[in-house]
Amino acid sequence: MTFPEADIFLKSGDCAGQTMLDTMEAPGHSRQLLLQLNNQRTKGFLCDVIIVVQNALFRAHKNVLAASSAYLKSLVVHDNLLNLDHDMVSPAVFRLVLDFIYTGRLADGAEAAAASVAPGAEPSLGAVLAAASYLQIPDLVALCKKRLKRHGKYCHLRGGGGGGGGYAPYGRPGRGLRAATPVIQACYSSPAGPPPPPAAEPPSGPEAAVNTHCAELYASGPGPAAALCAPERRCSPLCGLDLSKKSPPGSAPPERPPGERELPPRPDSPPSAGPAAYKEPPLALPPLFQKLEEAVPPPDPFRGGGGSPGPEPPGRPDGPSLLYRWMKHEPGLGSYGDELGRERGSPGERCEERGGDPAASPGGPPLGLGPPPRYPGSLDGPGAGGDGDDYKSSSEETGSSEDPSPPGGHLEGYPCPHLAYGEPESFGDNLYVCIPCGKGFPSSEQLNAHVEAHVEEEEALYGRAEAAEVAAGAAGLGPPFGGGGDKVAGAPGSLGELLRPYRCASCDKSYKDPATLRQHEKTHWLTRPYPCTICGKKFTQRGTMTRHMRSHLGLKPFACDACGMRFTRQYRLTEHMRIHSGEKPYECQVCGGKFAQQRNLISHMKMHAVGGAAGAASALAGLGGLPGVPGPDGKGKLDFPEGVFAVARLTAEQLSLKQQDKAAAAELLAQTTHFLHDPKVALESLYPLAKFTAELGLSPDKAAEVLSQGAHLAAGPDGRTIDRFSPT
DNA sequence: CTGGGGACGGGGCCC
DNA sequence: TGGGCCCCGTCCCCA
């Protein structure tokens, strides 16, 4: 094989100083170099790019890829993680391609070998040729054509299946090809492929330990690789992982046409058949993965051992399943969604999704003691069988999930939103019912419009601020006065309850939907369910963990067009772009200073608050206290009550958070009310002030004090309004 | 040396 | 599940 750019180098000798170069050229140098590179690749040494092909991951060197393929070159420039269109190249084919890139050889028995590498993919020379064309590797294209021509017509030889559907067809490690491809995950590449031979038993012992890099990399023990994979798809824990979020221009693989998807799972797939079984010798792990291997992931209660041929110790999940759960499926690889869907489809998951947390399994930890050791109905359960064939359609799922008593039951002490709100009375066709007034509507839109009317009504009655607070949920702020019986958001039948009916049993925060509530409830767990498999740090949300993983992998998919700087999050990029645009939307209400980033404004406001309550109060006093009056430095225009409140809030928050002086914080808030001369302004400000006072954890007395001190200022014509804000 | 601002990374949390 | 926002902390630069 010749590399295009290497050619340039080698041929340069023809141009000038050829004699010199000829005499200096070490024979076999390029071959030695390739051998070294390939050796490094097999060990993951200095590999700086991961190529995702359907459900397999390959590690490689950017330079080598770039030197071999114009297409790959365009990709590796931008990303460390490449997603290849598996319609164009299957994992098995890419393995051959990668081997070719690194060795210049196309395995002699490639056809036969590949045919059984991945049942279903059955790569032929034609497939390799297509992939080579797609990847723009002219040498491989030529080689394939040559070989096809020699054979006259390609006739793939189905391999013997070599033990467990493994990679046996590669047979003897011919010329370094055998162990050449350091695929991180090996699994059957296509659900459409024939299932592994019936006799295929999950490998155990040494075989299992070496059968996949995946297992080597992520399994903490010699567990069957099948356990790592979703049924049928034999999915990898990393398969389809898309941490890149975004492909560079021109690098995005062609997306599937809408509606197109991979073939459905084979119903006859043996539940626990065929582990992903590349029979490659164990390879040295790169440091990162050695670390992965060493790290024993903490128990993941959400682990589903799909396809696991045998029971696994509860609470001792393998790494792969952890990874599997945090992987993201790229839209372009749409079929991966099936896996997620299947995962969701597990009864246990459905239970969990519905708020019936599996933690409630008998003997499970009570509230606050963390999630359960495992799904009661997880994929490795008897019924699930592991092949996912019990995956229900959404409707079926809905139907099954209506079961108010999922296997896991509900956490004691946890409200079950499903039970509480999921079974309304019969309202005929008007299934969308307004709780406060009992009116039924045929559509959610109409109900929403109706609710809007309620909001406006509340606005008219109680003032915009309060209504807005209620409408916005004022989530989790709980009772403003700590009374416990005056919960704005949750009073039975109140608008607050209507809008945010799902309340946390631990902290009284309320949410619009049960999923958010469940998400929130995890923040109360002592055990965080999503551990980072690299550093072990645990997270309450999977998304946070995946984001965290991106930082480990150095994946920064969001690039600034102006300066090229890259970010891990879109929001960061948006924030960053303000530097280029000069936009500074965040203005200090005290001094008028403007900031491009809100966090810097906050930091700045804390600077204003230095000195504690007294300092802030004096600062407030020095502002004149009148709306629209320029600040002391004349720079900014004070916007009351927002300005006052902002400073007071920040100061109080600072005090409270530092636990320095909650009383001082309350005092400051109380003082703030003196600036609210306008009854209307006071009206709009008192409640949030008092609420915030309570939010800070201050005593109800202090909150009441805030109100009382401001109430006389806000003695507007609507006495009822003041009553509304008074503690009861 | 110190304080303040600019910029950024990371985590928590809600939608 | 991802996006968005908030917050904390840190680093760097500059006056």
Identify the helix (H) or strand (E) that includes residue A302: none
Strand partners, A440: A433
Q: Which nucleotide is nearest to A344 (CA to C1')?
A: C1
Residue nearest to nucleotide B8 (CA to C1'): A572
d(CA A414, CA A518): 10
> Is residue A25 within 8 Å of residue A90, measured between CB atoms?
no
> Using the CA of A476, which nucleotide's C1' is the nearest one?
B14
Task: Tell me, yes or no, whether A684 lies in a domain.
Answer: yes
Question: Residue for token digits 């994979």?
Answer: A229
Tokens of A639: 């916007």
Give yes or no for CB of A542 within 7 Å of strand B: no
Nucleotide in closest CA–C1' contact with A243: C2
Residue nearest to nucleotide B11 (CA to C1'): A544
Domain contains A681: yes
**Widest distance between CA atoms in chain A:** 102
pLDDT value of residue A194: 33
Q: How far is Cα of residue A688 from the mean position of the Cα atoms in its chain?
A: 34
Q: Which nucleotides of B are covered by protein (CB under 7 A)?
A: 4-15
Q: H helices within A125-229, ranges in order?
A: 125-135, 138-151, 162-165, 205-211, 213-218
Rounded to whole angstroms, the distance from the CA of residue A20 to the C1' of nucleotide C13 is: 51
Q: What are phi and psi of A400, to 5 degrees?
A: -70, -30
Number of separate helices (H) and strands (E) present in chain A: 31, 13
A242 in any annotated domain: no
CA-atom Rg of chain A in angstroms? 32
Question: Cβ distance A672 to A452 under 8 Å?
Answer: no
Which protein residues have their Cβ less than 7 angstroms from some atom of strand C? A 242, 245, 325, 328-329, 340, 343, 515, 519, 541-543, 546, 569-571, 574, 598-599, 602-603, 653, 657
Q: Separation of CA A243 and C1' C1 in angstroms?
A: 12
Q: Is residue A399 part of a domain?
A: no
Straight-line distance from CA A690 to C1' C6, in Å?
A: 21
Residue nearest to nucleotide C8 (CA to C1'): A599
With respect to residue A677, please indicate whether it lies within any of the assigned structural domains: yes
Residue A692 lies in a domain: yes
Indicate if CB(A603) is under 7 A from strand B.
Answer: yes
Q: Say how far apart CA A306 and CA A283 lie, in whole Å.
A: 26
A678 within some domain: yes
Phi, psi values for residue A530, rounded to 5° = -120, 95
Q: Which residues of chain A have pLDDT under 50?
A: 1-21, 111-122, 153-429, 431, 433-436, 455, 458-492, 611-644, 650-651, 653-661, 675-679, 698-700, 710-728
Instruction: Render the burial of A532-543: b for 16+ CB within 10 Å, e for the rest.
Output: bbbeeebbbebe
**Cα–Cα distance, A59 to A89 (Å, whole number):** 16
For residues A142-158, one letter each, b for 16 or more C-beta atoms within 10 angstroms of the residue's C-beta and e for the rest, the string is ebbeebbeeeeebebee
Distance A583 CA to B2 C1' (A): 29
pLDDT at A559: 80
Strand B closer than 7 A to residue A506 Cβ: no
> Which domain does A686 fall in, by range?
659-716
Name the nucleotide nearest A340; use CA and C1'. C1
Statement: the pTM of the whole predicted model exceeds 0.75 = no
pLDDT value at residue A684: 54
pLDDT at A574: 81
Q: Which residues contact A716 (CB under 8 A, 6 or more apart)?
A: A679, A680, A682, A683, A722
The number of domains in chain A is: 2
Q: Determine, yes or no, domain membership for A296.
A: no
| Positions of strand C less than 7 angstroms from a protein CB | 1-10
User: How far, in Å, CA of A613 to CA of A668, rounded?
Assistant: 6
In the structure, how far is the CA atom of residue A73 from the C1' atom of nucleotide C12, in angstroms? 35
Give, in Å, how far the C1' of C8 lies from the CA of A610.
17
Q: Which stretch of DSSP H or E encloses residue A511?
A: strand A510-511
Give the domain-ending residue among A415, A441, A458. Answer: A458
The pLDDT of residue A253: 35
Please tell me the predicted confidence (pLDDT) of residue A456: 52
